[in-house]
Structure 1
Amino acid sequence: MKVGIAGMGAVGLSVAKALDRGTLQGLEFAGFCASSDSRGAELNKALTTPVPIYGMDSIADHCDIVVECLPPARFADIADPVIEAGKTLVVLSASQLLGRADLIERAKETGARIIVPSGAMLGIDALKAVAVGELKSVTIKTSKPVAGLLNAPYLAKVDVDLTKIKEPYRLMAGSVSEIAKEFPANVNVAAALSLAGLGPERTKMEIWADPSLSHNLHTVGVTSDSSDFTVSIQNRPSDENPATGRITAQSVIALFQQMTSNLIVGT
């Protein structure tokens, strides 16, 4: 299968290097999208074997799978043409799937697939299993270092200077849908969780700024007729971009390993 990557930041480049090494059996790195020809040439220098550079409206013509690693505002630029081409879209900007029922319906018509890796979240296997029965509640509390929230547009609406807080400060509580509108770059983990369980309207979320943290901390609580569980994860940043967790790229690589493996462990 031929794999393309849209967005060669910390996550995209890490996945590209794994494909370039040839360690992912059955997968070929077929090309990527770059912001400019000069940037594309620079990125190709980091690879053992240079690959073609495509526009986001044409990469699906050359690939079976396209990995989306873009800023949220650019999601539709790659998602729409990939779905129209009937190819597989691996989505990292999971928050952008909220409210895009049209994209999912169109995928049914064109034969496309949309895959959301677990990314920086754990417990999704268990959540999907308990959702087969009666899923009663899902909550997620996301706590972030102050620096990771300073650019959030929501701060302009509230009277708080996060640089001066001494204790954890709750910025917002509500449904994942409500919080995604205010923190589009900070809720991909919660969006993936909601899509695996009760949906974005019924999955409850709190987002906190915590001056004591150096890494993002996610805590999830689930109650159901078969199991109740609580899980927490604190992710280490990638070397390339402190704002991106190292595990995010690794989850995409693990997904690819599972797609071509003769032995699959986990839901």
Structure 2
Amino acid sequence: MSTPRASLRVAIGGFGAIGHALAARIDAGIAGLELAAISARDVAKAEAKMAGFARPVPVLPLEELAGVADIVVECAPSAVFLRIAEPALRAGRIFVPLSVGQLLVHEHLKPLAEESGGRIVVPTGALLGLDAVRAAAEGAIESVTMVTRKPPRGLEGAPYLVENGISLEGLNEAKKVFDGSARDGAKGFPANVNVAAALSLAGIGPDRTRLQIWADPAVTRNTHRIEVEADSARFTLSIENVPTEENPKTGKITALSAIACLRGLVQTQRVGT
């Protein structure tokens, strides 16, 4: 008779729309996973949001999440990314970042994970066909290009726009606001290009992956078109993500992807590479 495996404890850094959705799903029951703690700036508000949970958990400082969990999920503003990532990886935990672009900015995190035995697991997020890109990367990829179109309000406040004096106010036609590498895009649009960061990590790297960003008043969804040229295949991927009501910079599928990622860590049978 087999012995049931112990559940993995999950701590969530950030309790906004995505963090709350993740916590609620785990609390409702995912076999093999147990919610251990969450972190939020407003402790009282976070505790109130957990009022309907079957098993409310402590609201801890970001730096303390790694001490109570096997898996630490980051879904917080990029400014506090390292406060979640570094303690988790130093403790040898599984770290699941949703602000994937920060991995391109903080390249010391991968060596840190290697030293401690930790793991960095990036969810597919809004990127259709990430498995195909990873497979193609086992051979030779010649080029990867991604074109992102977002409603102007989904790009407002991006550091690149502010630094370059690019205004989107009153925009009545599509405007290309960035054309460069995924690495530079991650720096200039930290809340907008996590998809491009994940694509670059799966494929030919952040410096060779090309990225265009368009502010387009004609679109109502975050749209990504990706073209890959490889020795094994040539393919084009296109996806239109429905933005969340709370945050137009984030698609609804992001939280669902994180849930699927966590489920895949404990499932007996897993589909996809």
User: Are 2:79 and 1:90 aligned?
Assistant: no
Contact 2:105–2:186 (CA under 8 A) maintained in structure 1: no
Which of the residues 5, 10, 15 maps onto 1:3?
A: 10
Query: 1:151 Cα deviation (Å)?
Result: 1.5
Mark the CA change 1:97 to 1:175 in structure 2 (over 3 Å): closer, same or farther.
same
Matched residue SS, 1:251:
helix
* Structure 1 alignment gaps of length 5 or more: none
What residue is the counterpart of 2:190 in the other structure?
184
Matched, 1:50 2:59: no
State whether residues 10 and 244 of structure 1, in contact with CA within 8 Å, keep that contact through their aligned partners in structure 2. no
Structure 1 position 141 matched with structure 2 position 109: no
Deviations along 1:140-173, one digit per CA (max 9) or x if unpaired, are 0111101111222322344553223322110110
- Note if 1:29 corresponds to 2:29: no
- 1:90 counterpart SS class: strand
The count of residues paired between Structure 1 and Structure 2 equals 266
| Higher mean displacement: 93-102 or 206-215 | 93-102
Q: Does 1:217 align with 2:223?
A: yes
* Partners of 1:50 and 1:148 in 2: CA distance: 33
Give the whole-Å Cα distance in 2 for the aligned partners of 1:158 and 1:3.
40
Match of 1:19 among 13, 26, 31: 26
**How far has the Cα of 1:244 moved from its partner?**
2.1
Q: Give the one of 106, 120, 125 matched to 2:112.
A: 106
Q: Equivalent of 1:206, from 190, 201, 212?
A: 212
Post-superposition shift, 1:46?
A: 3.8
In the alignment, which residue of structure 1 is the partner of 2:239?
233
Give secondary structure in 1 for the equivalent of 2:197. Answer: helix
**Structure 1 range deviating more: 77-86 or 35-44:** 35-44
Instruction: Determine the structure 1 residue equivalent to 2:177.
Output: 171
Alpha-carbon contact 1:117-1:251 (below 8 Å) kept: yes
Equivalent residue for 1:41? 47
Q: Distance in 2 between matches of 1:98 and 1:184?
A: 10
TM-score (norm 1): 0.95
The answer as to 2:119 corresponding to 1:129 is: no
Q: 2: CA distance between counterparts of 1:102 and 1:262?
A: 32
Q: Deviations over 1:212-265 (max 9, x none)?
A: 011110000000000000011110123444432110000011112222222211
Residue type at the aligned position of 2:13? A
Separation (CA, whole Å) in 1 of partners of 2:249 and 2:193 = 13
1:261 and 1:77, CA in 2 relative to 1: closer, same or farther beyond 3 A?
Answer: same
Structure 1 residues 217-226 or 236-245, which shifts more?
A: 236-245
Whether the aligned pair in 2 keeps the contact of 1:142 and 1:218 (CA below 8 Å) is yes
Identity of aligned residues (%): 46
Task: Identify the range of structure 1 (116-125 vs 256-265) with the bigger mean alpha-carbon deviation.
Answer: 256-265
Equivalent of 2:264 in 231, 243, 258: 258
